[in-house]
Amino acid sequence: MYLSNTLISLTPFLFLSATANTIGPRVGGWTYTCRETDVSADGVLSGNCFQWNTGKQVCSKLDLDHCYGFDESTMKGHEQDDGNFTQSCPLCALNTQSNGGFVECRCSGPEGIPVRAVLRTDDLVTNNGGYLQCFGHVAELC
């Protein structure tokens, strides 16, 4: 009787322990595990990101030029390895009012007319062991 009561009382902890180990780095999702985030005007994303193996946070910074490009025909930003996004979109800021790591940028449109481009960085940028990452480009320490 004692053993069965012990197993019943431990069951929630066993479940939490098993599910906690399955949560880890995946494609996108950095906004769920990083805090004190920002994007500099020149397109560098920074944040304090949780390290799964130590439980600590690491401050890292990732140049979004490694992650995005800008298509002048559609006037939209898009995922692209080493896309040099900031050549066309030199002024960026992180929209802290919404979920998904939205970065809003001012880009050069046709005939120099400024256009607004919005990137949902949470779809691509990951937290890999406390370091921001995209397309295998690992962020530097802050």
Map out the domains of the chain as residue ranges.
Answer: 27-141
Taking the C-alpha atoms of residue 127 and residue 28, their distance in angstroms, rounded to an integer, is 8
CA 30-31-32 angle, to 5 degrees, is 90
Residue position matching structure tokens 């120099």? 112
Sign of the dihedral defined by the CA atoms of residues 124, 33, 98, 91, in that order = negative
| Range name among 8-12, 66-70, 120-124 with the lowest pLDDT average | 8-12
Joined tokens for residue 66 = 């490694």
Fold of the CATH domain 27-141: HIV-inactivating Protein, Cyanovirin-n (2.30.60)
pLDDT at site 27: 54
For residues 37 and 20, which has the higher predicted lDDT (pLDDT)? 37
**pLDDT tier, 89 (very low <50, low <70, confident <90, very high otherwise):** very high
The mean pLDDT value of the chain amounts to 81
* Phi, psi dihedrals of residue 132, rounded to the nearest 5°: -65, 145
**Lowest mean per-residue pLDDT among 16-30, 40-54, 122-136:** 16-30
Closest Cα partner for 133 from 22, 33, 23? Answer: 33
How big is the chain by its Cα radius of gyration, in Å? 19
Task: Return the DSSP state at 72.
Answer: T
If one counts every other C-beta atom within 10 angstroms of the C-beta of residue 13, the result is: 9
Comparison of pLDDT for 98 and 48, the residue scoring more: 48
